[in-house]
Structure 1
Amino acid sequence: MLPVLNMKLVFNVLLIVVPFILLLHVSYHSTIAPLLASGQDGSRGISALKNLFPSWKKDYIKQVYVRPPPWSDSLPTIYAITPTYYRSVQKADLTRMSNTLLHVANLHWIVVEDSDRKSVLVSRLLEKTGLNYTHLNVHVAEKLNSRGSGQRNLALKWLRDNFRLNDSNAGVVYFADDDNTYSLELFDEMRYTKNVSVWPVAFAGGVRYESCKVDASGKVSGWDVQFAPNRPFAIDMAGFAVSLQLILSKPDVYFRIHGIPGGYQETRFLGDLVTLSDLEPKAANCTEVLVWHTRTQNPTLLKTFGDPNVET
């Protein structure tokens, strides 16, 4: 009885498999093979195959770049302010950052170039991302050593010019440099900021991470840092976010450029907005690292090699 059952099983399998193989054989020779036969290396055949789908490249680009999450009226908007300047790794840094921001819902990217005019490189990159963005530019003299604060100030002015206090504009402002590394969790943490939210930053101030100290009541009581620990707000630029309404309510508060030593711009800016008790610790009461102060190394390049017109 058992051999008979096995024979029936084999027969049933053949009834399914053989027609499928014949179908593939006919389909290949009737459609694909003539295309590939037009060139021995297959290149002309592949080109002919692409001609069957004239929009293949356009559709592919759209799928790769234009796919941020759908906009939601119920979510506060995150305004990510990114100063940028020309260097050999600028496009690489902005590309990596845009790939992160594509996964963040309700995000408006404000990119501000340190230049007299908007560059073709940045303009083209932003257009391809599919992100909701604003592209600005302002050049700040090198002698001022503003470390991007001139660009941040222009972005703050843009926000104040385009939004009004007490309008239904729930949102948060984050100063996101283009060379940092961001966890997607970070944006969820900051989204509902009431005044100023804070969290640790890795690889800042010459240590593994800088953080805030949180007391038993859940309030920020101090700073766990090595560099200038007595600063009222001893925090890295990547370690805080500010409510849009708070920014709008203090129209004269900007980053100070003149006479401010490096590492003190953040503390002066926050000191003009809030007190220590107003801070909202995030990232599990400042015990988790969700942003890294990374820097892309500028490569040593042979300037005479390659086509200078190829954008990198």
Structure 2
Amino acid sequence: MDHYENRKFKRYLGYFLILSSILIFWKIMTIEKDNGLLIGDLKDRLRIYQYKLHLTPQQMILLNMLENDKHLDDMPFIYAITPTYYRYVQKAELTKISQTLMLVPNIHWIVVEDSEEKTALVTNLIAESGLKVTHLTAKTPPFEKLKAKDPRWKRHRGVEQRNKGLSWLRSNMQLGKDKGYVYFMDDDNTYSIKLFSEIMKIKKVGVWPVGLVGGFSVETPVLNRETGKVESYKSGWKPQRPFAIDMAGFALSLDLILAKPYANFSYKMDKGFQESQFLSYFTTKEELEPLADNCTKVYVWHTRTENPVVRAEVKGYEV
């Protein structure tokens, strides 16, 4: 991130913090009906009224930063890598994700199109979002493309795009200097902003449940009651895999990605083993960090939008 982009991000974050603080201060005064409330009391009142004001953990972190601006400089980015490809629901899916990410102040969205060139649809959506975004392209080879009637498991998906995102990080970030987290954020899922607060707790590799996947209502790591460590997995497909974890169910520290430049996804990996074989580069099952309240809460879901039957396109509209 260059100096200009860094200043711009901090300025927008500052605006957000100031406006949020004014709104919350007003709400607290309304609750107490006490015009004598001092600014110095704000921190204590935030703790008292956190739930009454419906403040998220992420908002509490940000508002507490008002006491010391230098924390803004030290706040690590979450690098969310999103492969995307054209279909009728692409704009709808990316709109849903982008508007979730607008609530996350330390996000750097890496959008990688399965295309030879950047498309106007994705370029315009990114520009309108106001998010910090790196927009890349990486074309999937024709022999790895899913055909219209192929089941999703028949081909590897997102390999070129995820690897392009990893390559960008390794080319632009420095090990030991840049801190952050890496999350593979597919464009056809639904994400709670609570997930991003969980990601910020990661030391090496964090894991959590994913809803509505593999024929189960939830796929999740299963913890040992005594040690609190991951001992097995509840999964609808091959739970005996070394890491029976969905792509949406883990994130890593940026340090790990930078320290192992050879660790990528591959077409040579067994079908359905992309996540498991990728994680094997970085960790063991015993080292996984269970998050989301010891893997009891669901903050991400597979909610693929049904492909619509479009009988005619109306000219002049970008759907």
TM-score, normalised via structure 1 length:
0.75
Structure 2 matches for 1:21-60, cutoff 5 A?
none
**Inter-CA distance 259–107: structure 2 relative to 1 (3 Å threshold):** closer
Q: What CA deviation, in whole Å up to 9, does each residue of 1:124-177 have, x standing for no partner?
A: 11011000010000101242233112100000000000011111x220000001
Aligned pair partner of 2:202 in 190, 193, 197: 193
- The amino acid across from 2:235 in the alignment is V
Name 1:306's counterpart in structure 2: 314
**Residue identity in the other structure for 2:256:** L
Q: Counterpart of 2:251 in structure 1: which amino acid?
A: A
Task: Identify which of 171, 174, 178 aligns with 2:183.
Answer: 174
State whether residues 204 and 210 of structure 1, in contact with CA within 8 Å, keep that contact through their aligned partners in structure 2.
yes
Measure, in 2, the Cα distance between the counterparts of 1:139 and 1:220. 36
Q: Give the alignment partner of residue 284 of structure 1, picking from 275, 288, 293.
A: 293
Verify the 8 A CA contact 2:269 2:277 in the aligned structure 1. no
Distance 1:149 1:239 in 2: 17
Amino acid at match of 2:195: L
Contact 2:174–2:258 (CA under 8 A) maintained in structure 1: yes
Q: Which residue number corresponds to residue 53 of structure 2?
A: none
Consecutive aligned runs of 4 or more in structure 1 exceeding 4 Å deviation: 66-71
- RMSD, aligned CA: 1.6
Whether the 8 Å CA contact 1:82–1:178 is kept in 2: the answer is: yes
d(CA) in 1 for partners of 2:256, 2:196: 18
User: CA offsets per residue over residues 3-29 of structure 1, 9 Å max, x none?
Assistant: xxxxxxxxxxxxxxxxxxxxxxxxxxx
1:236 equivalent in structure 2: 246
- Paired AA for residue 112 in structure 1: V
Distance 1:83 1:155 in 2: 9
Amino acid at match of 1:183: S
SS of the residue 2:261 aligns to: coil
How do residues 147-296 of structure 1 correspond to structure 2 at under 5 angstroms? Answer: 147-167=157-177, 169-215=178-224, 216-261=226-271, 263-296=272-305
80-89 vs 217-226, which moves further: 217-226
Structure 1 residue ranges without an equivalent (≥5): 1-65
Q: Tell me if the contact between 1:69 and 1:102 (Cα under 8 Å) persists in the aligned partners.
A: no
Equivalents in 2 of 1:311, 1:92: separation in Å? 11
Secondary structure of the structure 1 residue equivalent to 2:123: helix
Judge conservation of contact 1:81–1:155 (CA < 8 Å) in 2. Answer: yes
CA contact (8 A) 1:181 1:292 kept: yes
How many angstroms apart in 1 are the aligned matches of 2:269 and 2:290? Answer: 30
More moved, 239-248 vs 209-218: 209-218
Equivalent runs, 1:69-218 vs 2, <5 Å: 69=16, 72-144=72-144, 145-167=155-177, 169-215=178-224, 216-218=226-228
- Using structure 2 for the length normalisation, give the TM-score: 0.73
Distance 1:129 1:83 in 2: 17
Question: Using the alignment, how far apart are the partners of 1:101 and 1:121 within structure 2?
Answer: 18
User: Secondary structure at 1:97's aligned position in 2?
Assistant: helix
Bigger radius of gyration among the two: 1
Contact 1:197 1:279 in 2 (8 A): yes
- Number of aligned residues: 243
User: Shift of residue 115 of structure 1?
Assistant: 0.5
